[in-house]
Structure 1
């Protein structure tokens, strides 16, 4: 694959209903204001300003296309907006197909992970170019314990060798397209699961603990607090090799 930015695209699935955070008074989480722009825009900006990444596609639910295009235009964020499918996997497939023809490698990133560093993006791109597929993840640090009967804890789960998945997750475009087309009813929760189902190995890239997904109401005040220092500190500039 070429190293030019035009050949690395990004897909942001943004079709979640945000039911755990959306209320009558507040929009879905990807459209809530974080700093000077909605979460979706802040996440997209991290990729648009990255030298390793070129075209971007945002995937939304049917009926949200026009409003999303207007929102991106209002904030000067350039991306195609396409309609997704009934599942995240189907929506990502729509986004990958919508990228322009020169794109040979694709990053998929949650629209509600605005705290992705430039370093993590660069390392995932590097690993995809070298190995065909890669994803960001962090080593599990907490003790893991299964639930038992009723309110009781069960057995402790060994955490050695366990990773908590993050995004971006990336791969050769042809791998992602074929994996989705040949899934034969298999529904994966992320691109790693889909690629592994298709027989493709996926390289581990060390992620960042700050690269959190805004999901629950309790995540929002934490995200606002982190944002106050995020841009000021200009994080994620390191470019050492973080692939495992």
Structure 2
């Protein structure tokens, strides 16, 4: 079976002085998270679509889904975690408690604040898992990437080998669980990228091509750009 997880566990500190976590801010006539959920509902292959939000915002999320007539029997609003990998782990536990897992089960995870995800990107992630334990959606880096430490440049990698990580990140569930089980609590908290869990366990991760408009809305500037994108696609 194929499961989706829309990750909205954070509060978005880089968005500045706003009254709501960034995933609930308005993009056009609807909250950002609603745009994203609607994209996943269109994909009929998903057995469940888990929406992971801060525990205190579960009722609010359910209310806005009703308000915007987002109804699908596969939707479940569940609690996220303190860190990204905790949010991922909570989704795995939810699936395991409600379904019998097999080696064929897949999880497609996506940032709630990337509302311009396309059907093609989702399908390419699913297809990549036919031959790999994990997939990471990326786009080639346009700018030179500079590594730095303590205010000084420490390395300038070859740009042609550099990519920017987007989402979805996708996994064979049992393989992901196996790799997660080998991490210490400290390592889980340290890792900000779920695909790296697989790499650290020696597993290969397939790159899936993203789109330049599959942006993550993190700052007020990003929200301005997102509104411009929305106007152009309507």
TM-score, normalization by structure 1: 0.83
Is the CA contact 2:3–2:107 (under 8 Å) kept in the aligned structure 1? yes
Is the CA contact 2:54–2:80 (under 8 Å) kept in the aligned structure 1? yes
- Unpaired segments ≥5 residues, structure 1: 1-6, 233-244
- Unpaired segments ≥5 residues, structure 2: none
| C-alpha deviation, 1:106, in angstroms | 0.3
Q: Tell me the equivalent position of 2:195.
A: 192
* 1:12 alignment partner, SS class: strand
* 1:223 alignment partner, SS class: helix
Q: Does 1:96 align with 2:103?
A: no
| C-alpha deviation, 1:199, in angstroms | 2.6
Q: Tell me the equivalent position of 1:203.
A: 206
* 1:131 alignment partner, SS class: coil
Q: Tell me the equivalent position of 1:85.
A: 81
Q: Tell me the equivalent position of 1:73.
A: 66
Is the CA contact 1:22–1:28 (under 8 Å) kept in the aligned structure 2? no
Query: Paired residues, what number?
Result: 223
TM-score, normalization by structure 2: 0.86
Instruction: Give the Cα–Cα distance (whole angstroms) in 2 for the partners of residues 36 and 102 of structure 1.
Output: 39
Which of the residues 219, 229, 236 maps onto 2:222? Answer: 219
* Distance change in 2, residues 1:40/1:102 (3 Å): farther
* 1:218 alignment partner, SS class: helix
| C-alpha deviation, 1:68, in angstroms | 1.3
Q: Deviations over 1:142-186 (max 9, x none)?
A: 122345886x76764321211111100101111222222331232
Is the CA contact 1:8–1:107 (under 8 Å) kept in the aligned structure 2? yes
* 2:130 alignment partner, SS class: helix
Instruction: Give the Cα–Cα distance (whole angstroms) in 2 for the partners of residues 180 and 84 of structure 1.
Output: 17
Instruction: Give the Cα–Cα distance (whole angstroms) in 2 for the partners of residues 202 and 39 of structure 1.
Output: 29
